[in-house]
A and B are shown apart, each in its own frame.
Chain A
Amino acid sequence: MLSTPLVVAACFAYLLLLFGVAYWADWRARQGRSVIGNAWVYALSMAVYCTAWTYFGSVGRAASSGVWFLPIYLGPTLAMVLAWMVLRKMVRIAHSYRITSIADFIASRHGKSRLLAGLVTVITVIGIVPYMALQLKAVASGYHVLAGPPGGGAVTAVAWWRDSTLYVALALAGFTMVFGTRHLDTTERHEGMVAAIALEAAVKLLAFVAVGIFVTWGLFAGPGDLFARAQAVPELERLLRLDQGQGFAYEQWFALTLLSMLSVLFLPRQFQVMVVENVDERHIRRASWAFPLYLLLINLFVLPIALGGLLQPGSTTAQAETFVLSLPLAAGHHTLALFAFVGGLSAATGMVIVEAIAVSTMVCNDLVMPWLLRTRRFGARSAVDLTGTLLGLRRAAIVGMLLLGYLYFRLAGEAYALVSIGLISFAAVAQFAPAMLGGIYWKGGTRNGALAGLMAGFALWAYTLMLPSIAKSGWLPDDFLLHGPFGIELLKPERLLALGTMDNLTHSLFWSLLVNAGAYLAVSLWRRPSGAEASQALMFVDVFHRARRPAHGVAPALQGSASDPVFWRGRANVEDLLSLAGRFLGRERARRLFEDFARSVGADRVDRIPADAQLVQFVETHLAGAIGSVSARAMVGAVVEEEPLGLDDVMRILEETSQLRAYSQALEEKSRSLEQATAELRAANLQLKSLDRLKDDFMSSVTHELRTPLTSIRALAELMRDDPAMDDAQRGKFVEIVVAETERLSRLVNQVLDMAKIESGHGEWHSTDVDLRELVTQAVQTTVEMIRERGAEVFVDMPAQLATLRADKDRLMQVLLNLLSNAAKFVPREGGRIDVRMRASATGVTVEVQDNGPGVPEHQRSLIFEKFRRGGDATDRPTGTGLGLPISRRIVEHFGGSLWLRAEPGQGACFGFDLPWNAGAAGGESRVD
């Protein structure tokens, strides 16, 4: 029992805090440092789904029927799995065409029908009223528990002017007006409201979890103790089971899951926070799992609180809805009880604020405005500035909504549990599903189809769910419930056509959705869609193909390219359109918008803007943000001369645009391939240049190499010619040298030719099955004599067996001989040692030839594989052409292998090569003669 002033003061302090947060967020937004541009805030704001129903009602539901409180949260979880596809599409459509409410969405999709917008609004208002009443009831009974006399009478038992609930309703209305209608915005974004809602989400979660922890660990010794004691009581044990002793109503479970799945997408407040207030599509990624996680967390302690409450002596199931407050209160924890109440207040106010703003926008834009604009005083040709009227209308709508909610609360509030009231509203908004989902995925839906579907669905909802709820509260004779109207049993509202044994909710949902979807399909298919319907269908269904992701703050129309189709034809006047926009957006804002548009189309002044279809669409889209697409269409239609578009015109415009797009795509493609070709040519040119330089280097190296032996041959020959008296021994020695030098010359020329052949790809390759063991043995035998002359020894280490590989035997022999003779050249004069090792692996064979000579100095390691580079210093350089290693490397590479040098300081040089098993196949250019 808390004192009334304390509770009231706490509530007002909390609301004031909320308002402060909202004001701060609005201020930050004006500074360009938005606080809601954050995926976490977006996810938290979605938690406006959890209202007083969740906060108080779930515990009540759990106390009476166990896990049955869960489907209402499992459905949204499943819906969020698909959010990345479905919700993102809704967001893209709404942002592209400046749609600010569900009514606008459905009406805009089906040919911008005024009738349809009005119908959706009426359904929403009637459907949402019970839900508003639920919040009022929850706050009122919570307050009653906290501050009312113990064991006092029912909440509604006082006269209406003394009823605190009425004042709660009025306070909430005032608060909502301050939040939502302080100024007019064409995008209907309310940054401050979203920030406050996110804070409320955090508060209600914390408060509920705090109570849960208190019950589980404060009143009991943890979950084990709590559940053990509950299971000892047969009535409570039953709550922890699936079927609770009777058959499990799977169809009802299914219906609740489906219902909540649709509600989370189509409740006006969810549409407001998820679609209209969305800042960035990418936030949907994070929110799609963070929001279900929130739902899980807030439901974690529902069962413990319900069971803990029922285990208290003297408590009944009927009191369960206020266990969250009464349990801490009974235990003397007044602060916790007050915190819990503030949490409940958060849940209720969050819902009321967002719902009222969303519905008031709808009432104003889709119900009142279209009617108002037809009157002479406010009509298209009038010059009255309407921005003030718009705000006034919305404020009146907010007060109206809350008073209606209060009325329902007075009428039917006592007869129903919170959850049942909420489900009536859920079933009403579920009626939007066929027109919404059909509208964004099916191009065939028409205005008449949507009208027929919605009317049929709504009628059945009212007859099978709403009417019985009023009758059961005693305001209507319940005769027709029991025996059917006029005694016709087949028309009993809760058992139409005497079909099945469904509970009343499942029954109502089944019939209303069946008839709704059926009528939508059937009537849509009846007639070909009109031009307006077809063009809107294309814009909605193909939104991902046409509209690009709109950047925040940039008008979609400014981003559109010439290849986006504009379904409009006629004559317009810039001056008329400007003054029209000024009436609804304010003169100053309209002028700025037009200046931006002028810049985007390349006109230097506003009056130079070409008054074409693009401008008309630009103005219409912006007006749609302020007064709804239906009214915007009517207004623009009144100030421009337009030609009506038929279905054929729409198709032709579409075809022209898609042709235009195809042309521009082809052009882009061509220029891309041209660029690519240029780059390739440039690369080829570079390569040619470097090859040319290499060739020059090669030529100069070759001539240099040829000159050395030639010089010595010539010098010796001249000596012999000029000195006829030279003795024979001397002459013989000279001739020997000449012959040796000539041999070196021809070897050089042969190798150069060989190299040239291999490099040009004209080398001759004779691939056969080669036994590498045999080849190595042969190569060692050939060179062993030369090696022995240099005082060195050869050691061979080979596997005992080796598969053959396909390669050119002579060429491989050439490589082996080259490596062996190289090694022989560098071994020391005494104690020289050459190791030949062969290893086989799964992929190929490795052969290495290691000597114990000086090794290859670091700076030469990469050079020795180049042509005419020889190892060793210039002074003690052994003889050789400098082509051996390059040729060997080419040969090995030809067979898909690699030739390498492994040098460890002080260990001599180790040259080796790897050959893959399928070596022959790698030699793509081999010619078998």
Chain B
Amino acid sequence: MFDSLTAQRLLALFAAGWLLFDYPLLGLWDRDGTLLGVPVFPLALFAVWGLLIVALALLAEGSGRD
């Protein structure tokens, strides 16, 4: 069940998500300044989250049935 390519891609995405949302990569965005009026840190959190969802959607909808 973890053998198919889709499954391995999902596992990789999971690992990437876990790393991005935890120590120490989370600290990457803790900076001064704003982008389009929004402070960088919350903006980056939501942006990374959104990208993760986009990648997940592409994987889930795009890959062939297994």
Contact = CB atoms under 8 A, between A and B. Distances in A.
Contacts of B2: 85
A290 B61 CA distance: 11
B20 to A, nearest CB: 10
Given A77-B49, A82-B14, A296-B49, A254 B22 contact: yes
Interface stretch (A281-289, A310-318, A724-732): A281-289
Interface string B20-42: 01110011011000101111011
A82 B50 CA distance: 17
A81 B23 contact: no
A241 to B, nearest CB: 6
B56 A81 contact: yes
Nearest to B11: A82
B42 A85 contact: no
A84 B53 contact: no
A67 interface: yes
Interface in A187-234: 222-225, 227-228, 231
A293 interface: yes
A292 B53 contact: yes
Given A82-B14, A240-B41, A253 B30 contact: no
A406 to B, nearest CB: 36
Contact of B34 (A67, A89, A227, A241): A227
A663 interface: no
B22 A253 contact: yes
The interface size bin for chain B is: 20 to 34
Contact of A224 (B22, B36, B46): B36
Given A224-B37, A227-B38, A82 B30 contact: no
Given A78-B14, A288-B60, A253 B23 contact: yes
Contacts of A77: 17, 49, 52-53
A70 B45 contact: yes
A78 B60 contact: no
Contacts of B22: 250, 253-254, 257
B52 to A, nearest CB: 6
Given A85-B1, A285-B61, A240 B42 contact: yes
Contact of B37 (A89, A222, A254, A285): A222
B56 A223 contact: no
Contacts of A292: 49, 52-53, 56
Interface in A662-706: none
Contact of B10 (A81, A254, A286): A81
B35 to A, nearest CB: 10
Contacts of A242: 26-27, 29-30, 41
B23 A250 contact: yes
B41 A67 contact: yes
B38 A224 contact: yes
Given A85-B1, A242-B27, A74 B21 contact: yes
Nearest to A240: B39
B60 A289 contact: yes
Residue among B30, B45, B49 facing the most chain A CB atoms (10 A cut-off): B49
Contacts of A248: 23, 26-27
Residue among B11, B52, B61 facing the most chain A CB atoms (10 A cut-off): B52
A537 interface: no
B45 to A, nearest CB: 6
A245 to B, nearest CB: 12
A81 B37 contact: no
A544 interface: yes
Contacts of A250: 22-23, 26
B5 interface: no
Nearest to A230: B39
A227 B39 CA distance: 7
Contact of A85 (B10, B30, B41, B57): B10
Nearest to A291: B53
A234 to B, nearest CB: 14
A303 B61 CA distance: 31
A289 B56 contact: yes
A223 B61 contact: no
A289 B53 contact: yes
Contact of A296 (B13, B30, B46): B46
Interface string A61-87: 000000100110010011011101100
A243 interface: yes
Contacts of B34: 224, 227-228, 231
A689 B26 CA distance: 74
A625 B7 CA distance: 31
Nearest to A89: B1
B50 to A, nearest CB: 6
A84 B46 contact: no
Interface string A272-305: 0000000000000110111011001001100100
10 contacts: A74-B21, A78-B21, A84-B10, A223-B36, A224-B37, A231-B39, A240-B41, A253-B23, A286-B60, A289-B61
Interface of A: 67, 70-71, 74, 77-78, 80-82, 84-85, 89, 222-225, 227-228, 231, 240-243, 248, 250, 253-254, 257, 285-286, 288-290, 292-293, 296, 299-300, 303, 544
Q: Nearest 5 CB-CB pairs, A to B?
A: A224-B37, A242-B30, A289-B57, A250-B23, A81-B14
Given A89-B1, A240-B39, A242-B30, 6 more contacts: A74-B49, A85-B7, A231-B34, A248-B27, A288-B60, A296-B53
